[in-house]
Amino acid sequence: MALVSSLAALSLLQNEGGVPVKALVFKPKTAKSQDPVPIIVIAEATTQTPSSVIADIAEVKDPRLAKDDLTQLFFATTAVQFGLGHLNPDNASKCKLVLDINIENASDDKVYELKDNDSKLLISARTLKDFLCSLSNNILVANFIALAEKKPAQKPAAPKKDKSVGKLDDAKLIGVTVDKNLDFPGWYQQILTKGEMMDYYDVSGCYILRPASYAIWERIQEYFDKKIKKLGVQNAYFPMFVSSKVLEREKDHIEGFAPEVAWVTRAGSSELEEPIAIRPTSETVMYPYYAKWIRSHRDLPLKLNQWNSVVRWEFKHPQPFLRTREFLWQEGHTAHLTFEEANKEVLQILDYYVGIYEELLAVPVVKGKKTENEKFAGGLFTTTCEGYIPTTGRGIQGATSHCLGQNFSKMFNISVENPDGADKPKLFAWQNSWGLSTRVIGVMVMVHSDNKGLVIPPRVSQYQVIVIPVGITSKTTKEEEQKILATCNKIEGKLRQTDLRVTSDYRTNYSPGWKFSNAELKGIPLRIEVGPKDLQKNTVVAVRRDDFTKTIISLDTFEKEIPDLLEIMQAEMLARARAKFDSHRIIVDKWEDFVPALNRKNVLLSPWCGDADCEDDIKDSSAKKDDEDDEEEDEKAPSMGAKSLCIPFEQPELKAGQKCVKCDRLAIQYCMFGRSY
């Protein structure tokens, strides 16, 4: 390789280490009639290199990390294996080179560490810069930090939103005061805080999960943990900190997270010698130890799962549960001997995620596969379950299960001897990763809740039943009051014996009506009212939170009827949500029908050619040109175009000669498109 032959003699082998350098290949958006011009970014490993800055400095549009087809064409290597050693004056002349200003301004004797496959090369900054100058005399120097912090040009101020537009006429201060359909962001904020699901923290983008929401997460943990342990998955815990050198090992993967990585640079009053990242995900944390622990094919499969938190320092309009700087999740990481084993597990885990949404949260989802543009960076393919928020007409990613192929095992040398004999080549493990986060709670809230408060499915609610005494007035005798309260206590105790989660409200300083509203605000699925007239009839009144249906239940049979009623409620919540999703998931074959259907709050199944540039064109061409009616201060708001949500596993039948919805190529499959969170 050019770099090795040019610089090996100058390597500073006496040094223990240097500052790691990364070399990244980006492909800008290019007209189909033109050849792409790769952009090579050379930067210190800890420098964040957002694509928006690269676009500005290189004067290109929408640069993305290049895939293997481009790197094979220009450099005869894969995107993962690309390094400075693959550059020479010939191929460099066909590229644009962007150099980190930290390298440009480095003292001549500063030591840098370059990678050449599995070996390291230590060279001085002067030698590195001389080598780059030998490749091109037109190197662009980028101050990534300054450019990233540069304030964008201000758009004309949007007209101020009339806060009274979404206000509910009969709203009480205790409850929700804005209409879900008229002010969805304001409604969502109120529903979570007044329903006591979360509270705001003094660090922007971080939130407190109150017991009501954490109880939902515990139900999900119980369900999923039981499922994966039957597959042989074991729970473990790895540290949250990762060194910059380890993080850099899988550059194509981590570059997608780079703008969101939080770094620890100080301990007390002292600067750290090497910055330490807080994990945005754990591939680079865990896989060096998989390579250490997996020595034989008999050590496979290795299946580990973590219940932990990760930090992604989001800068764009954080939203509780949906986009936060720290969030809880589980992340499973498994290694297998064969692709068949890995593929089977990927689909099995996806089914478990569907079960969480549909069996626990009563939220319907569509299973499918992500496009190449949308798949997990560095993976072979990504499967997903996609939900739908009826009020906004936007899709939302529910959970993903990735087959990583052998990309990571080759990077981290997770390999074993061939079971067919020592004379056969060694085998690299086939790996999967899969994850689901507390985003599920936000999805559930947005799908089911209403203007009176939260609506929580019985299977996950912190409390499934609340018992409230009614009809106690100044005229009620002490004996009657004691009988009502004793009956309430009896109901509580009997229901707990059936494993229901029960609470009560016996406070005397609030009226029954106030207690009803409070229980509705918190989304408790079933309210049991016990009053003197009910006792005379040996009955109680059960009121469902989802549709306010009242049912008269005998005190002789309530232990059976109430659990049955909760199961009916669970099933009907799913059925209603599914009906809304099904009625807004429509087939659109012609482009002239695409945007109008999208604007009617639909997600669309459209024939598609499979081309990544066409996918980008669909997104650009379907963006709203007039945002006057869209006042959400969010760059991911519906004014954005339709992105590919997934390629559904259940496919409509393509007609003979069916063309792509956007271009003249033949369609190869239907893809689900929609505006999304």
| Residues 398, 340 share a domain | yes
DSSP string, 560-590: HHHHHHHHHHHHHHHHHHHHHHHHTEEE--S
Distance from CA of residue 42 to its chain's centroid? Answer: 29
Confidence category of residue 36, pLDDT binned at 50, 70, 90? confident
Cα–Cα distance, 320 to 199 (Å, whole number) = 9
Give the domain-ending residue among 422, 448, 474.
Answer: 448
- Residue-level pLDDT at 10: 46
**Res 172 pLDDT > 70:** no
Q: Pick the more confident residue, 250 or 482.
A: 482
| Residues 472, 437 share a domain | no
Give the domain-ending residue among 414, 448, 482.
Answer: 448
User: Does residue 555 lie in a domain region?
Assistant: yes
User: Does residue 488 lie in a domain region?
Assistant: yes
- Residue-level pLDDT at 4: 47
- Residue-level pLDDT at 13: 44
Interval 63-78 mean pLDDT: 86
Confidence category of residue 77, pLDDT binned at 50, 70, 90? confident
Q: Which CATH number belongs to the domain containing residue 603 in this structure?
A: 3.30.110.30
DSSP string, 486-538: HHHHHHHHHHHHTT--EEE---SSS-HHHHHHHHHHHT-SEEEEE-HHHHHTT
- Are 551 and 542 in contact by the 8 Å Cβ rule? The answer is yes
**Res 290 pLDDT > 70:** yes
**Res 2 pLDDT > 60:** no
Helix (H) or strand (E) holding 145: helix 144-149
pLDDT, tens digit, 9 for 90 and up, residues 608-623: 999 999 999 999 999 8
pLDDT, tens digit, 9 for 90 and up, residues 383-426: 999 999 999 999 999 999 999 999 999 989 999 998 888 788 89
User: Does residue 333 lie in a domain region?
Assistant: yes
**DSSP 8-state code for residue 8:** G
- Residue-level pLDDT at 256: 59
- Residue-level pLDDT at 626: 43
Interval 491-517 mean pLDDT: 95
* Strand order through the sheet with 241-243: 241-243, 270-278, 262-267
Cα–Cα distance, 185 to 656 (Å, whole number) = 44
- Are 112 and 155 in contact by the 8 Å Cβ rule? The answer is no
Helix (H, G, I), strand (E, B) or coil at 615: helix
| Residues 443, 308 share a domain | yes
Q: Pick the more confident residue, 117 or 454.
A: 454
**DSSP 8-state code for residue 442:** H
| Residues 19, 104 share a domain | yes
Whole-model pTM: value is 0.80
Total domain count, the chain? 4
**Res 69 pLDDT > 90:** no
- Residue-level pLDDT at 1: 44
| Residues 492, 412 share a domain | no
| Domain span holding position 374 | 194-240+279-448
Q: Which two tokens stand for residue 507?
A: 């406070």
pLDDT, tens digit, 9 for 90 and up, residues 291-313: 999 999 999 999 999 999 999 88
Half-sphere exposure of 292 (CA within 13 A, CB side): 5
Cα–Cα distance, 286 to 412 (Å, whole number) = 10
| Residues 598, 498 share a domain | no
pLDDT, tens digit, 9 for 90 and up, residues 258-273: 678 888 988 998 988 8
Interval 477-498 mean pLDDT: 95
- Are 647 and 578 in contact by the 8 Å Cβ rule? The answer is no
| Residues 372, 422 share a domain | yes
Interval 38-60 mean pLDDT: 88
- Residue-level pLDDT at 114: 82
pLDDT, tens digit, 9 for 90 and up, residues 576-607: 999 999 999 999 999 999 999 999 999 999 99
Report the DSSP beta bridge partners of residue 434: 332, 401
User: Does residue 273 lie in a domain region?
Assistant: no
- Residue-level pLDDT at 420: 85
On the 0-12 / 13-18 / 19+ scale of CB atoms within 10 A, 520 is buried
Confidence category of residue 287, pLDDT binned at 50, 70, 90? very high
Q: Which CATH number belongs to the domain containing residue 57 in this structure?
A: 3.90.960.10
DSSP string, 152-216: PPPPPPPPPP-TTTTB-TT--TTS--B-TTT-HHHHHHHHHHHTTSEEE-SSTT-EEE-HHHHHH
Interval 214-232 mean pLDDT: 98
Ranking 147-161, 214-228, 551-565 by mean pLDDT, the lowest is: 147-161
Confidence category of residue 246, pLDDT binned at 50, 70, 90? confident
**Res 368 pLDDT > 80:** yes
Q: Which CATH number belongs to the domain containing residue 565 in this structure?
A: 3.40.50.800
- Residue-level pLDDT at 627: 41
- Are 522 and 455 in contact by the 8 Å Cβ rule? The answer is no
DSSP string, 403-429: EEETHHHHHTT-EE--TT-TTSPPEEP
Interval 548-552 mean pLDDT: 96
- Residue-level pLDDT at 12: 46
| Residues 303, 218 share a domain | yes
Strands (E), 180-325: 198-200, 207-209, 234-235, 241-243, 262-267, 270-278, 302-311
Tally Cβ neighbours within 10 Å of residue 487: 19
- Residue-level pLDDT at 432: 97
pLDDT, tens digit, 9 for 90 and up, residues 626-639: 444 443 334 444 45
User: Does residue 206 lie in a domain region?
Assistant: yes
User: Does residue 153 lie in a domain region?
Assistant: no
User: Does residue 318 lie in a domain region?
Assistant: yes
Mean pLDDT of the chain: 88
- Residue-level pLDDT at 571: 97
User: Does residue 84 lie in a domain region?
Assistant: yes
| Residues 129, 100 share a domain | yes
Helix (H) or strand (E) holding 608: strand 603-608
| Residues 296, 417 share a domain | yes
| Residues 203, 123 share a domain | no
| Residues 367, 497 share a domain | no
Cα–Cα distance, 350 to 385 (Å, whole number) = 7
Cα–Cα distance, 411 to 247 (Å, whole number) = 12
